[in-house]
Amino acid sequence: MRANLSDRLLQHYVDKCRALPWRSPPGSPPPDSYRVWLSEVMLQQTTVAAVTPRFERFLARWPTVEALAAALDEDVLAEWAGLGYYARARNLIACAREVAARGGFPTTEAGLRALPGIGDYTAAAIAAIAFGAHAVVIDANVERVTCRLFALAAPTRGDLRAAVASITPAERAGDFAQAMMDLGATICRPRAPLCDSCPLRDDCRAFASGNPERFPAPKAKAAKPVRHGVAQWIERDGAIWLVRRPTKGLLGGMAALPGPVWTAERQANAPELARVRHVFTHFALELAVVAAADPVGEGWWQPFDTLADAGLPTLYRRAVDAVLTERGRIAA
C-alpha cells in the first residue's frame, strides 16, 4: 500500500503541481539551495500568495547567498517589512553570512540545523528538496494530510513522524514532500476538503469515517494578553521622525515611530491622534499615536512621499495610515 500511495501522489504532483518560483518541475534537477532556503524561511507562518512577489523581489536584489550576506542589515529589514515575524529576517541575515563564510549550504539535516534560524522542519525541507536527501518533511499541510490518512485526532510528534516516514519513498523525497504540501493546500483543506479530487481518497481513514474534518482535532487557543504602547508623531516640513528599534526583541532593528516600552497598562495621557490594534503571536497590542514636539535621540526625517521606502513593519505602517486617514476625515 505504501508504495502504491506514494506513486499515486507523485503522479498527481506531476499532473497538478503548483508552479512556484522557488521550485523545479517534478522529476527535474533540484532547485538551487539558496532559493529553497529563502522560500522556506519566508513561508514560515506566511501564505504562498504573500511570499511569492516578495521572494522575487529579494532574488532580484540579492540573487545569491553571497550577495545577501554582503547586504546592510537595514536594507534587508526594510525589504522584509510587511512579512511579519521579524526574527526571521534577523536570522536570515545571520544565516546568509555563515553560509557565505562556509562556502555553501550544508547538505545534511544535521548540518543545516546548526545554522541560525533553521529548525527541524526547515532542515528536512532543504535537505530533501535541494539535496535529494531521504528526509521526513512535516509542515502544517503535511500534518493535516497525514492525520486524515491515518485518522489521527491528536498524535504525538513521534506518532506523526512515524506515520509520515512510513509513506515517504526512498527516492524523490523532495517531490513527495512538495506533493504532500500541495495536496494539503489545494485539496485536503482545513475546511470543506475536496475529497472527490484526492488521489489518496481510497487510502484515507478519515474519508472512510464520513467526517474527514474531525481530523486532526482542533487545538484549544488560549486568550492572548493585551499590552499597551504609545507611538509619538513628530512631523516637520512634510516629513515624519522615525527611529530604529533596538536590535534585540520584538521588531528588532526595524524602522518605527518613537515611543516608550510597551506595558500591561495604558500609557497615553496626551490626546490621541489615532489608535491601532495589532495581534502578535503571543499578545495583542493597543498602540496609541500621540503628537510630540521635538525628536530625541537618533533617528531620521522620512518624507511622506517616500514613506514606502522606510521599511516600516505592518504595526507602524498601520499607525501612520490611521493618522493620515483621520486627518483626512477632519479636513473634510
- Is 42 a domain residue? yes
Is 40 annotated as catalytic?
A: yes
- Is 99 a domain residue? yes
Rg (alpha carbons) of the chain, rounded to whole number:
23
Same domain, 207 and 230: no
Same domain, 277 and 138: no
Q: What is the mean pLDDT of the chain?
A: 94
Domain with residue 68: its CATH number is 1.10.340.30
Domain with residue 237: its CATH number is 3.90.79.10
**Rounded Cα gap, residues 27 and 22, in angstroms:** 15
Q: What's the pLDDT tens digit per position in 306-315?
A: 999 999 999 9
Q: What's the pLDDT tens digit per position in 16-46?
A: 999 999 999 998 999 999 999 999 999 998 9
Per-residue confidence (pLDDT) for residue 331, from 0 to 100: 41
- Is 221 a domain residue? no
| Residue 121 lies in domain | 2-214
φ/ψ of 210, rounded to 5, equals 90, -5
Same domain, 178 and 301: no
Same domain, 142 and 18: yes
Q: Is 279 helix (H, G, I), strand (E, B) or coil?
A: strand
- Is 145 a domain residue? yes
Residue pointed to by grid coordinates 534587508? 76
Same domain, 157 and 25: yes
Same domain, 172 and 307: no
**Rounded Cα gap, residues 103 and 99, in angstroms:** 6
φ/ψ of 232, rounded to 5, equals -95, 130
- Is 172 a domain residue? yes
Number of domains in the chain: 2
Same domain, 177 and 310: no
Same domain, 96 and 189: yes
Same domain, 29 and 170: yes
Q: Quick one: how far is CA 316 from the chain centroid? A: 19
Q: What's the pLDDT tens digit per position in 110-128?
A: 999 999 999 999 999 999 9
Per-residue confidence (pLDDT) for residue 327, from 0 to 100: 83
φ/ψ of 304, rounded to 5, equals -60, -35
Same domain, 125 and 269: no
Whether the model clears a pTM of 0.85, i.e. scores above it, the answer is: yes
**Eight-class DSSP state of 236:** E
The size of the chain, in residues, is 332
**Rounded Cα gap, residues 241 and 310, in angstroms:** 11
Q: How far is CA 278 from CA 126, 175, 260, 318, in A?
A: 32, 37, 17, 9
Choose the final residue of a domain: 174, 192, 214: 214
